[in-house]
Amino acid sequence: NKSRYLAVCVEGAWKNYGYCWKSMIALHDVILHAPT
């Protein structure tokens, strides 16, 4: 699911780069701070 999201993100990067980047930062932040 995560790899699929990344693939879609990369595919649309040329037109959705800003949104994609912010989403990835948010997702990364959530993963870093998520309780295990």
Specify the number of domains making up the chain.
Answer: 1
pLDDT reading at 32 higher than 80: yes
29 has pLDDT over 80? yes
| 20-to-5, 10, 34 alpha-carbon distances in Å | 10, 8, 20
What is the average pLDDT score of the chain?
A: 75
Q: Could you tell me the pLDDT band of residue 14, with boundaries at 50, 70 and 90? A: low
**Confidence grade of residue 6 (pLDDT, cut at 50, 70, 90):** confident
AA letter at 23: S
Give the domain range for residue 25.
Answer: 2-33
Q: Which of 18, 21, 32 is nearest to 6 (CA)?
A: 21
Residue 3, pLDDT score: 78
Cα–Cα distance for residue pair 36/23, rounded to 1 Å: 21
For the segment 5-32, the average pLDDT, to the nearest whole number, is 75
Q: Which residues, other chains included, contact 23 with Cβ-Cβ below 8 Å and sequence gap of 6+? A: 9
